[in-house]
Amino acid sequence: MFTAELLEANPMPLIGRPKVPKSLPKSYPAQAVADLVAAIDADHGSTRSSDWPERDRAIVFTSLLAGLRADELLNANVGDIRRTDDGGVLHVRGKGNKDRRIPIGTELLEVLDAYLETRRTRFPNTRKRGSNGGTLAGFGPTAPLFVGSNGERITRGTLQYRILRAFKKAGINGERASGALVHGLRHTFATELANANVSVYTLMKLLGHESMVTSQRYVDGAGTDTRTAAELNPLYDLLNTRQRSH
């Protein structure tokens, strides 16, 4: 109509362009995850102080089974974990200062306990004085959950390097999208729960998304209780299998 001179001005500049959905990093298949964990476990017995398989294992499984972002792993404190009768709860200070609470299974707690035991051996002076109430209670509530080989809160560079090293060592670096490391683990968490028919609303709560629009990209399913949903994650089976083999 504009070209036919029926309109005085071209209206097209006033029409917004359709939003292109953000691409998601690809999730990792179960065999790739198994190879990743095996590569980390192969560091047992290493004499290099930078090699710390119990910690690296705890980082990977915390992301796989709780869906944490890199910043959330870096900022997590020991006191953010609370034990419950049926497992535990991880308090996450999320993106945009939005807190959420993630139910975690006893298997993940055992992985974290194993890591913290080795940490007390490496850094005996960091143990909370007068504490005899278990591994978690052995540290102050504001103590960083994950630390580097110097005992200080782990840095982003160390976090990325350790995971990238494990990917390369496992021979699965080609499984990840460019630049996707921790976020790929988080995406795997979401994808596995989506495949287990977890609802969009529940995924939104577990992932800390601002709206269900983002979570909708993962799944359109029925409502599920958050604890039941979190423990439906098939990756727990991998953890159980590996623990029985040790």
Higher-pLDDT residue of 246, 33: 33
Contact 128, 141 (CB under 8 A): no
- The token pair at 224 is 């599920």
SS3 240: helix
pLDDT at 131: 52
Higher-pLDDT residue of 91, 200: 91
Confidence check: pLDDT of 23 > 50: yes
Nearest to 245 by CA among 65, 27, 44: 44
- Helices and strands (H, E) in the chain, number of each type: 10, 3
Confidence check: pLDDT of 149 > 90: yes
The architecture in CATH of the region 24-240 reads: Orthogonal Bundle (1.10)
Q: Which residue has the tokens 């917004």?
A: 16
Instruction: Report the percentage of the chain scoring pLDDT > 90.
Output: 47
Confidence check: pLDDT of 220 > 50: no
Going along 29-98, which residue ranges are E strands?
81-84, 87-93
Binning pLDDT at 50, 70 and 90, where does residue 72 land? very high
Rounded average pLDDT over 31-47? 95
Q: Over the stretch 150-191, which tens digit does the pLDDT of each residue have?
A: 999 999 999 999 999 999 999 998 888 776 788 889 888 888
Cα-flanking dihedrals φ and ψ of residue 28, to 5°? -100, 135
